[in-house]
Amino acid sequence: LRTLLHRKITTTSMEYKINDKVYNISSNLTDFQIKLYTHLIDWKHKHITKEPGIYKGNLYDLMFPESYSKNNEISPVIYDKIHSEIKEIQKSPFAYKVHKMAFHMASSQCACINLFLPVLLDSKANEIISKIPGCPCNFDKIDRSKLYKGFCFEYWGQDITSGKGLLNDHSNVAGTDADIAIAYLNKKGESCLWLIEHKLTETDFTNCGGYKSKNNKPKESCKNSNLDDILCNPELCRYHQIGYNYWSIQQSKNYLFNAPINSKGCPFLNGVNQLWRNQLLAFALENTPKYTHVSFSVVHHKDNTSLQPTIDKYKQLITNNITFTTFTNSDIVNSAETYSNELSEWITWYKDLYNL
């Protein structure tokens, strides 16, 4: 039983008391978030440090003190056996941009690296990957000649183009990317790509930034214009007004979005927006000579059910097309347990950290 203690600091920082222990965490959390956050804090206190971090003047037990982020290139929440490989990645053309919240126990970027990198470096990686529910049905083996040893974190098409990318939306502060991309050869020997979005404790996907933009006036166009309206007149969308390629790609692939849409307004305003943009990136990549087939998936913590309504809505929108699939972090760990004898230490560590 948890008790919320009164605290006059901000509306976003709260103290939770669980079994006589006080935790400084955010407010307005789901039961799953509270359970995993408090577990991560206990893990941090046991294995790393009891010192909290500070964000906007408030103490947060999930965050690391400034000394950790100042003196370390790699967050202490990342599995120590892969630190040397991460340093090599960061020297390569496929170095990834470290998130601002990487020095946070619940960092989704760090959790993604912790989940995939040990598996992708394992000698049984092909067997493990192929047995994950949601793996592309034409997967044969990882294409180690592509990207960094066959994969790339924070992928937006940087092996194909530079600048603003295929969607013309990439910048230092914005843009569409996959948390990880895995290059593979299909059973015909063709080069393919699997884009994956990773979620740990998030309750939804990213909403439409174009709609929220202060320069999007009038916003009524987004609420009153349905999918067909915008396809006929993309200028109704702020994204199109600023030069993003979303609607030109959507027009060529709209036959996949043939489910009846009962709601009024653009179907991509809320969390579905991020899924849609990642799918558009997959479509754009398929239009290049580099990759024959490109699939897109979402992987999330097995106990995070908050994402399911948005996932279900998107699946309905694309009529359950096989180019989009979902699976959980437990699916990967279970496959690794089955096919690899070398990952036992990582499996124990990962399950302990993320409370599986």
Q: What is the mean pLDDT of the chain?
A: 92
Largest distance between two CA atoms of the chain:
63
* Residue-level pLDDT at 260: 67
pLDDT, tens digit, 9 for 90 and up, residues 120-155: 999 999 999 999 999 999 999 999 999 999 999 999
Query: What's the 3-state SS for 289-349?
Result: CCCCEEEEEEEECCCCCCCHHHHHHHHHHCCCCCCEEEEEHHHHHHHHHHHCCCCHHHHHH
Q: Give which of 262, 20, 19, 22 is closest to 6, Cα–Cα.
A: 22
Q: State what percent of residues in the chain have pLDDT above 90.
A: 77
Contact of 127 with 339, CB cutoff 8 Å:
yes
* Residue-level pLDDT at 322: 83
* Residue-level pLDDT at 3: 45
Q: Taking the mean position of all CA atoms in its chain, how far away is CA 338?
A: 25
* Residue-level pLDDT at 1: 36
Q: Give which of 219, 222, 218, 220 is closest to 234, Cα–Cα.
A: 222
- Interstrand relation of 191-199 and 13-18 (parallel, antiparallel or unpaired): unpaired
* Residue-level pLDDT at 261: 65
Residue 94 has pLDDT above 60, yes or no: yes
What pTM did the predictor assign? 0.93
Burial of 186 (0-12, 13-18, 19+ CB in 10 A): middle
Hey, what are 54's tokens?
């500070």
d(CA 62, CA 50): 10
| More confident of the two residues 95 and 21 | 95
* Residue-level pLDDT at 12: 53
pLDDT, tens digit, 9 for 90 and up, residues 59-82: 999 999 988 887 778 999 999 999
* Residue-level pLDDT at 259: 67
* Residue-level pLDDT at 16: 80
* Residue-level pLDDT at 350: 98
Residues 6+ away with beta carbon under 8 Å from 47:
none
Residue 11 has pLDDT above 70, yes or no: no
Cα dihedral angle (52, 53, 56, 59), rounded to 10 degrees?
Answer: 0
| More confident of the two residues 335 and 219 | 335
pLDDT, tens digit, 9 for 90 and up, residues 39-55: 999 999 999 999 999 98
* Residue-level pLDDT at 220: 86
Q: Give which of 267, 271, 291, 266 is closest to 281, Cα–Cα.
A: 291
pLDDT, tens digit, 9 for 90 and up, residues 276-305: 999 999 999 999 999 999 999 999 999 999
| pLDDT-based confidence at residue 323 (cuts at 50, 70, 90) | confident
pLDDT, tens digit, 9 for 90 and up, residues 243-253: 999 999 999 99
pLDDT, tens digit, 9 for 90 and up, residues 226-268: 898 999 999 999 999 999 999 999 999 988 887 666 667 999 9
Beta-bridge mates of residue 328? 300
Hey, what are 67's tokens?
């000394």
What b/e sequence results for 101-131 when a residue is b if at least 16 CB atoms lie within 10 Å of its CB, and e otherwise?
A: bbbbbbbbbbbbbbbbbbbbbbebbbebbbb
